[in-house]
Amino acid sequence: MLNFPRWKIILISLIALLGILTAVPNFLSDEQLDQYPDFLPDKQVTLGLDLQGGVHLLMEVDLTEVKKEKLASKRGDIRDALKKNNIAQRSSIRNNTIHVNLTDKSQTEQALSVIDDTVEMIGASLTGSGVPDIEVERGVGGAIVVKLTEEGLIRRSDDVVTQSIEVIRRRIDGMGTTEPNIQKQGVGRILVQVPGFDDPQKLKNIIGRTAKLSFQLVNAAIGIQDRVPPGYERFPMAESERRPGLPDSIVVSKRKILTGENLVDAGLSYDQDNRPVVSFRFDRKGGIRFADVTRKNVNRQFAIILDGVVISAPNIQSPILGGSGIITGNFTVDSASELGLLLRAGALPAKLTVVEERTVGPDLGSDNIEAGKIAAIIGLLAVMVYIILSYGAFGVVTNFALIINIALIFGLLSTLGATLTMPGVAGIVLTIGMAVDANVLIFERVREEFRLGKNALSALDAGYDKAFSTIIDANVTTFIAALILFQFGSGPVKGFAVTLAIGIATSMFTAVSLSRMIISTWARKRRPTTLKI
């Protein structure tokens, strides 16, 4: 062991130096970091929500809604396709399946092939053919039964999640806060973490609303008691728009003049009385269509419907030609700019419900950091004192290795962009305690070999050699536990697993390579005859 090749010494020293360099930014203040030379790494560890405060929301896509919409549109497609082929039928949706009853059962074969042609392959790409969205079967009594496929639904919900993430990202970016973390989690779930933000209500207002906007013509002839005829639907008026003596709901044509997708811009503005309103602009196609419809319907009413509620139902006094307009209503400055933001960012493809919510206030976060720091420093010092008391000069080497170890942990966490959470701090403190183990195994072995009568140098040699396989076995087992924890843990627990795993890897390096290098260099120079260990 005394002959440590030069390249090894250089490599080990370089790694240790790199660890220190990447760890240093974490211990500097922002001002110091500004003056820090550019060529040095300046990445800091990302603090978890529990350490810096923030909101954590786990949202779930309403899959029943997705299913319902898909079934309805599929039923429409099938009806249209059959009609085109002159096949008369009646269909209904029961228990998540579409039942098609043909008037003339002899057309069944033909109908089946027509329906087969409506099958869409979901997720088709250059590399794969995708999965069919429906399954067509013959049911009892000659009916045709169409079911949605499980894989198709999962793909569909994946699409919904991906689109939703886009929309949520645009909405949160529009709020101008710090970097949000938005990611897909499992099937149909979205995790949203916004650090440094402690108003979950506001966040939910922004990201939880579907914001489906449509412009539809009002049919004022149908009263509040009347049945809604086919082709029309009834929507409630927003509470702020209800007036005594006027109906609380309104009937509109199902045909949408335009939807939120036709908007290119929206935002806060003021009307002539200086009340806040939401101004918007249509894209070119939308502008032409809106001009066309308003020209033909002067003196009729149209409704602006947001998420199933009529927020405004103005009269068309003259054709609206400029492709832009305003939505009046009982807005405050806040609610008008909020709606503007939602309209700009677009509608969510499905309703999202919050299934898990955690909010940490900023002062709790800083309390946690403070407590974690103190615990880590005191723990470290106490362990170091104990090590020196037990191993003397060898203890000094161990302690040096321990400090490099902590630098490496912070360096790796910063470089990997991992998130440090409170359990992560616990992981580091625990690693401090356990990192010493490898050195303990070695030194105890050296003691034993020395007592057996070996000379100092060969005792050192044998100690390192024989302890090595034990160290590997002991660390691999803990590492396995850390990996599994990472796989199954969520949130803060994952943070713990990451620091534990990193800590095991770095402590192996510092104990086996670094401390060995220092001790062998010392032994080669001094040629000790006895070991104070």
Partner 1 sequence: MLLKLVPEKTDVKFINYRKIAYLFSFLSIIVAFGLYFNKGLNFGIDFEGGIMVEIGTETPADIGRIRSAMSSLKMGDVKVQEFGDPRDVLIRLEHQEGLTVDQVVEKIREILPSAIDGEISYRRTETVGSTVSGELIEDGIMAVFFAISAVLVYIWFRFEWQFGMGAVVALVHDVILTIGMFSFTGLEFNLSTIAAILTIVGYSLNDTVVVYDRIRENLRKFRKMPMSELLNLSINETLSRTVMTSVTTLIALAALFFLGGEGIHGFAAAMIWGIFVGTYSSIFIASPILLWVELQREPNTTPQAGMEVYPPKKS
Min separation Cβ 158 and partner 1, Å: 19
User: Which tokens sit at 455?
Assistant: 């000379």
Cα(318)–Cα(442) distance, integer angstroms? 90
Main-chain phi, psi angles of 313, to 5 degrees = -140, 75
From 150, 374, 416, 521, residue interacting with partner 1 (rule: CB under 8 A): 374
User: In the window 55-84, what residues touch partner 1 (CB under 8 A)?
Assistant: 58
Check binding of 1 to partner 1 (CB under 8 A): no
Instruction: Pick from 1, 131, 165, 474 the residue near partner 1 by CB under 8 A.
Output: 474
**Closest distance of CB 358 from partner 1, Å:** 4
Residue 184 makes contact with partner 1 by CB under 8 A: no
In the three-class reduction of DSSP (H, G, I as helix; E, B as strand; rest coil), residue 242 is classed as: coil
* Closest approach of partner 1 to the CB of residue 235, in Å: 22
Helix (H, G, I), strand (E, B) or coil at 62: coil
Collect all residues with Cβ–Cβ distance below 8 Å to 309 and sequence separation of at least 6: 235, 236, 237, 238
Q: Does 465 bind partner 1 (CB under 8 A)?
A: yes
484 binds partner 1 (CB under 8 A): yes
Q: Which is nearer to partner 1, 87 or 533 (CB)?
A: 533
**113-142: which residues touch partner 1 (CB under 8 A)?**
none
Span interacting with partner 1, options 25-33, 224-232, 274-282, 478-486, rule CB under 8 A? 478-486
Contact flag: residue 2 with partner 1 (CB under 8 A): no
Question: Which among 62, 307, 56 has a CA at the least distance from the CA of 160?
Answer: 62
Residue closer to partner 1, measured from CB, 152 or 372? 372
Contact status, residue 332 vs residue 276, Cβ threshold 8 Å = yes
In the list 94, 473, 525, 529, the residue contacting partner 1 (rule: CB under 8 A) is: 473
Q: How far is the CB of 48 from partner 1 (least distance, A)?
A: 12
Tell me if 353 sits within 8 A of 59, measured CB to CB. yes
- Rounded to a whole number, what is the distance in angstroms from the first to the last CA of the chain? 18
> What's the min distance (Å) between Cβ of 501 and partner 1?
11
Q: Which helix (H) or strand (E) holds 357?
A: strand 352-360
The residue count of the chain comes to 533
Q: Which residues contact 188 (CB under 8 A, 6 or more apart)?
A: 60, 61, 63, 157, 160, 161
**Count of positions on this chain that bind partner 1 (CB under 8 A):** 78
Question: Residue 230 — φ and ψ, nearest 5°?
Answer: -60, 145
Contact segment (CB under 8 A) with partner 1 among 211-219, 292-300, 468-476, 523-531 equals 468-476
- Tell the burial category of 509 from Cβ atoms under 10 Å away from its Cβ (0-12, 13-18, 19+): buried
The rounded Cα 437 to chain-centroid distance in angstroms is 37
Assess 391 for contact with partner 1 (CB under 8 A): yes
Q: For partner 1, give the closer residue by CB, 294 or 368.
A: 368
Q: Rounded distance, CA 495 to CA 97, Å? A: 44
Q: Give the largest Cα separation in the chain, rounded.
A: 109
**Tokens read off for 173:** 């970016």
Please report how close the Cβ of residue 439 comes to partner 1 at its closest, in angstroms: 10
Each residue 428-457 as x (binds partner 1 by CB under 8 A) or -, in order, gives -xx-xxx-xx--xx--x--xx--x------
Segment contacting partner 1 (CB under 8 A): 127-135, 156-164, 172-180, 486-494? 486-494
Strand pairing of 46-47 and 419-420?
parallel
Query: Is residue 200 close enough to count as binding partner 1 by CB under 8 A?
Result: yes
Q: Where are the extended beta strands (E) located within 75-228?
A: 89-94, 97-102, 121-122, 131-132, 134-138, 144-148, 181-184, 189-195, 213-218
Q: Please answer whether residues 121 and 131 qualify as being in contact, where contact means their C-beta atoms are separated by less than 8 angstroms.
A: yes
Nearer to partner 1, 296 or 373 (CB): 373
Q: Which stretch in 28-36, 144-152, 275-283, 480-488 sits in contact with partner 1 by CB under 8 A? A: 480-488
Q: Considering the rule CB under 8 A, would residue 187 count as an interface residue with partner 1?
A: no
Mark the segment that binds partner 1 (CB under 8 A) among 93-101, 156-164, 298-306, 380-388: 380-388
Residue 493 binding partner 1, by CB under 8 A: yes
Phi, psi of 335 (to 5 degrees): -70, -30
Give the footprint of partner 1 on residues 344-373 (CB under 8 A): 354-361, 363-364, 367-368, 371-372
40 binds partner 1 (CB under 8 A): no
Q: Is 481 in the site for partner 1 (CB under 8 A)?
A: yes
**Site map 393..432 versus partner 1, x via CB under 8 A:** -----------------------------xx-xx--xx-x
